[in-house]
Structure 1
Amino acid sequence: MGQLMNFSTDPKTGESNAVALLLCRGTGECDLNFTDPKVVDQWKNVAICDRHVKELLSKWDDSLTFRDSHTYRVQKQGKKEKACSMPDEIGIKHLHSRPGPEKLETLTIDESDVINKRLGYLVHPGIPICLIHKKFVADLKINMTKTDRKRVRIQSGFFANADDETCSRDTSFVGPSPKKQRTQGEYALRSFANFLNIDRVCFPNKKFEELGELTKQKKVCTARKMIDGMLDVISGGDSALLKKKVLTKLYDDESWTTGSSKNFDLIMKQVAAQFYVAHDRRNKRIILSIVANVIPYSTVEKYIPSLSRYMYHRARLYARQYKENTLPATKDVREKYNKIAVQYFVDFITSPTVMIGLPYGVKKVKMANGTKQEIPNTIRQQSSTEIYEMYKSLLKNTNQTELMLSRSSVFRILDVCVATDRKATTCVDYFTANGMEGFDGLHDILDTWIEEKLFDLESLHQLKTGLFEAAQYLRTDYRLHVKKCSRVADHCATLALSDPMDKSMASSCSTGNYTHKYDLKCERCEQVNNTLNEIESLATQLASSASLTNSESLERRKDEVFQIKKYIEDIFELKKHYLRAAYTNQEREDILSSLKDNEALITLDFAQKYLPRWHREKQSDYYGKKGISYHVAHTTARIGDIYTQHSFVHIYSKEVPQDSKLVVMTLLHVLRQLKKVGIIRASIRSDNAGAYHCAATINSLHWLMEMSGVSISTYTFSEAQNGKSSSDRDASRVKRKAENYVAKDGNIMTSEHFFTALTQGRLLNGMSIYHGYVTVDGNVSSKWTGISNLNHFTVEKNGIRGRRYGSIGSGQLLKKESLNPMNGTYHFEEAGFTPSKIESMPLKEPM
């Protein structure tokens, strides 16, 4: 709170210290002396969230910020103006309307303290109050002790002497005066009784049930006369019909609550259950209308705690309009378009956590103007319901619930944002394949145990349910729970990716800027561990209890133990894979967000070889094909405040091995093309293929910088099946273009034909096509011990520093003198779009 000490306050509140004003409004401590250094020291280091700062201080008077504003406002001449905001329980209650802004005073912090100590109500200092309430508070203050307001001295420690029988900070509660304050309503009622010539209208201090029988009878007669007189005034002389309507209404209300309270409770519980399972607001309103018209809101709220008054009144209105059980016409409900929330959700569903780009196929989408566009194919890893639950969990964990979209909006967006449904997975990484096979293997073993009735069937079914939940958790929410630093050990990437045997490849969580302890546990992670441990424990029991005389049974149980241990090991390898994928994906996002003017991220990938195709292919030509190699380099660059994308596709004219020589020479060509358009610095990223992840490629980074004139900051490697979707999408566009060429009576038998197919007709937007070959001088031998375990390389002035993962540990430095880069040339024929130079921020002329 120290930074709030100098926050400006309204002098009308009588307090110049913003923290004192905030504490009075939030905790009711209105007598703290912030001129005392000890009090300042006590509170300056206390943490407070931004929401409470806004609610109690910076946006306290903003009626649009919070659901329950602190200040009443009245409508006058089309504008909302402040009115007396004193609660009805304090002083005289305003019967008709609260006094407007003409004659208002401000409640000071001293007056708020008086109300708190005398009446036990916390009223925020700063609210506008009328002159009547101002005088009422002044009288309260006079009736208090003549001594001045005492400032509280704070002892050392926020909870100092908390265990003592008395506490110096606790003030005795002063109850209200035993004489009941008369309200304007009581005086108005007495005047109305005099108007009707009704005598003996008094207001006793006892409750009605505590009065004597004679007194009760007199009050009943008096009440009947006044009700008859009131009905006569309201109805314009026809009080009989109005009285009949009122009595009918009272009878209907009473009919729901008479008889067995147990039956009424059962009915209301059933209504509440149907209300909760209704899938939209319209059905909820129909169900609620059954009781809303005859049962008060306070009673219904006991069974449906989340029920709002707005929904209750809408249901009452519905019940009155549709008494014949006829359904109204469907009415479209329009919600305000929240552009930020929609953009955030689209970013989420296009992230590698949800979506993977496919290197084949396209989808057609219809634009608002009726035109159709082809976009690369993608596949979602989860169903729509799973995506909705993941998104809701993500917003809850990151305290961004204001960005939550309704369930129907999420499903509509998923319908519009087309993607291929996952049907079968081919060519997946072995972590995913082995992990999911591990879950399937455990299910098979449990099914065998259920058939043989070896254990309690309910316990085995619970274990199967636990396996399903564990698999779903790892595929969905676990990747969202992973953080760089976390108090949950299972979620802390720094702990998981640090090498305990090598200090240069490890970072400590007990030191540094993000110091933390592992004092929390994730309930769902623990549930996964408990389920797997329970299955292994049951298998061990079976193996130990197997008969030694029955060798077949003993051998079978031992095999089950061995298989279960292997399956569990594969599942934990899958969990590690998801953690690494989440960390490396965040690493890529950090690179993109930190790009400066004229800097770029290059994603490299060898696309699947293109097999020769004929417009009319003979059976003899179908077999024994040799693919055509081509390489995709997708570039995301920042030019000024604009992010641009461009891809470089290289088709090789000869049958070439996809090795480091080909990669380095191709990368040199890409960097030189980027230099022509003003790129001065680049970060490189690729998968773990041997052509990229080798000493010959990494050791040539300094040579590439010297030959191209583009500085290289980092070279990072993504986890399997993560991080190179941009290149895969470009490969999909290339294949689609080639298929269209073949469909129009074209043949692609050689690399020259492939190049021609991509350069004829309408060119691929944002893509440069090259065809040629590379030549490397001599055989270069480069070494870097343990390079296969390093995934993050930083290019420094005196060498290259390798780490297992970015920012974890100091890493290993290979000095520039030890590098043995390759040398060579290339020759490429160019076609297609070329990257154009966009004016950068420093070069823009002033307007």
Structure 2
Amino acid sequence: MAADTQCSFQSFHSTVNCSNLDTFYPVNSFPTSLSTILLTESGLLFTKFTESFIICQSHLNELQEQNRLRKKSKCCGIPLHLSSHNLKNKKRSGKLKADRYLTSQQVEEISKKYGSVLPVGTPICTSCRGKIFRDSLSNSDVNQSVEVVPSRIEDPLQQQTESSDGFFLRPRPDHSYEYYENAHDSNVSSQETQQSQNSQASEASVANIDRLGKLNEFLQACNTSPVKKIREPLSDSSERTQRRYTEKANECLSLLLETMCPGEAKKHAKEFGVGAPVAKEKQTRGRVDDAKLEHFLDFITSSHVIKDLPLGEKTLTLSSGELIQTPYVIRCLAPATIVKQYSRICEEENFNAIGESTMYKILSECSAAVRKSVEGVDYYVAEAGEAFRELENIVNQIPMNNDGKETIENLLKAKHYLKTDYKMHVRTSSTIADHCFVHALSQTGSVFFEDQCPHDHIHQCPQCYQLEHTLSTILTKTADVGWDNPEAYLFKVEKSVNAIKELKSHILRTKVQDSARADITGNLKEGEMFLVADWAMKFLPRKFREGQTDWFGKRGINWHITVCATKKDGNFILDTYVHILDAQTPQDSQLTAVLIADTVKDMVNRKNINKVHIWSDNAGCYKSTFTIYALYQELPNLIKSYNFCEAQDGKGPCDRKASHIKAAIKRHVNEGNDVLNASAMKRAIDLQQKGKYRVKVVTPVIDADAEKIHVKPIPNISTLSNFEFSSDGLKVWRAYKVGPGKLIPWKNNAVTCLQLNVVHTWSSDVIPDILPPDDESEAHDESTQPAFKRRKTSDHVFNCSNDDCDRSFNTMTSLDNHLLLGNCNVHVEKKVVDRCKVMYNNKLQTINAITIQSDDLEKENTTDVPEERGWALKVKKPKVLFTEAQKQYLSEKFNIGKVTGNKEDPAKVSRDMPYILKDGQKRFTREHFLTTSQVASYFSRLALKDRRNDIQDQNDFTAASADKKLFGLKKKVLSHV
């Protein structure tokens, strides 16, 4: 280049010093991508006037470095007047994180739409990209990272240019080019200066072509005073100058708007008022087609998703505030599985489904209970649930045409009835044999455990009749089908039918035994005490920082919990006693009896107690002859009654107290402490609960030389549920208030009780729990008539854990009071009568067999064969002797586990018995099939026998070794004599 050549970029970047000694390059000699970067960094685009620009080495290096640093930034670099950033919630000075960079094509598009030239490589965020390019006419994806750079525009009417990747692009008209052409036509002198590159002023005019003059021409046409250019930054000007320019800017905007939209200001002032904002109407967009919505609702309300009858009602709230009642159904699938299966069905049917987010929203709003797995449930409930599923599978295999579907529906209704309404139907006196517990729990022919009903059982419950009829129908149909192995199917059906009937008897006995606790607590007076005892699950020692070697093979700490309820001034007062055993001792009846007696004696010393009523579960350490006799011996004038709950229904206040104590110990460990023994456990409870519980650490003193006293056992004690103590003897009942009871006189009832060695006694500053009366907003209705559930308010957040009870409370103490007393408010499930027009509710209402059973408790329909007297009594199962074939088969299965290490599953062994062949014949008949519990019990006995043999063999080996050593020593001594 010539020495007098000047850099065209000096006027745009005056901070960079360039001299005639620098090397100069024509801009159009660079690659298109580099020349585009150089021009856009200076606010310019390719035009007729910029194609002859030259640049020095200094400006070339500066602009390249400037662009490199720009691309290095992680924040969005779009100016505020173009961006969509939320300035009220600033992040990184109002800018968001960028995820793309502007390409030359995008820079050109921004210039056409907004008149601003941004440098190529400017970082841009997702939000700004969506705002700026929302109305783009280009079909290319702006999110692509491939940069397409257009060729220089030689002619605004150029039709096509070929890109580097082979695609033909049709460029849009260059508005900047047109702008400069108009400026050239209107001002000849300006055109001459633009064509001359020897003047820096001419180069500045290319970028800024007297816009202030054009504005003043516009203002003059509007008969408004012109605007003068301010000579200093506006922020540094005086307040008066700032105010004047602000007013002038508003005036210019008003004139511009009036020119573009004439008469709109007057129209707005007439309709809304001068300067008044336009009220925005809230519009709700409904994008979901009704046909698609109905298709999805058909699926989620089908029998594939809902496989059980509804449990009560659920209230749905519409956006208008209207409340609608819908059946509270149970879905057997999780929401994610429902969405996945529905999407697959729509693909198979070529149906355009709604979006997944909409599906999840519908499932959330139209909520339902989801069936879940539960561990440690009632044995009767678990067996009956498996029985219903087994019967349903068998019915599906029987060719019954339409009768099969009806039978399955009847099974679901029967299952629902036993889970909900049956417990409410049970009465002390009823003309229905299935509901009268005096009739159901009277032992026929017994003068002690039988009561005569003052009425005849001439009526029949439609639900109970339907249950019996359905079970007998399935049994008959199964026997008529020509199965490959009919005995196996008959065994399954008979086993399932017996399990369902056992559940029905269990529910009735539970209701009766709960009434015993309710009667005691309801009539409790001052000076009397109601005591609930239970062994807690062994506590495993814990360290604040515990290694893997310490975590395995722990020995649990035994602890026993007793909750004592007394009454004072109409309020129940709870005292909780905790006995922690400092040694590994068996939880037998001897230890249990002395712990209960120790608790009662302490309560007598602290309070004026003259009567004690005890309640516990059916564990062997409680329901034993030794425990009964030991308690009467230790508390002769105090203990009045001992009542046992129904088997598998023993959850009570002790379990809840145990969970609270475990949580307190966990908090203590989290504070950096170790709980490794009984003393540390007591210290943790005392520190965390601040004297709320009376905790004592004891060790039982076992006298090995004491003579064992043989006490005559109470006959059939496992079948007895209620015991009453008196000076004449012990009166027992099989069921509460059924029969006069049997009196067992006190004879040869002396026992030897254990002594307790106290390691740490309980604290003296114990604060008992005072339970106020129920805090429900309305009085508790004790009527037996069904009532509608009250809608729970936000205040009543503690609900009864009993699924059949609808009571709720404000405080946890009130809930504890309710659970201790057992005064649950059980209502019959209500029938859905309100038909709503909401689509989801309509679908639920139209499901087959979805209507809940009627509330009528009795139906005048004479039954020819009523339930036998005493049908709900617990029957002691007779001892079954295994045959040699059964023993041989079970031993073979057991030995497989011993040899291979893969133990046989008792359930699988039981299922395989009907199909085992021997010499081409069935190895066992239906009478010799064994249940899972029988197989598991036999395996347990074999394992115990093996352990004993191992111990005996070890003892024999030890004795033989000792004999051999003694013989050798004797021989050695004799040799020296």
Q: Normalising to structure 2: TM-score of the pair?
A: 0.40
As a proportion of its length, which structure holds more helix? 1
Select the structure of larger CA radius of gyration.
Answer: 2
Q: Normalising to structure 1: TM-score of the pair?
A: 0.46
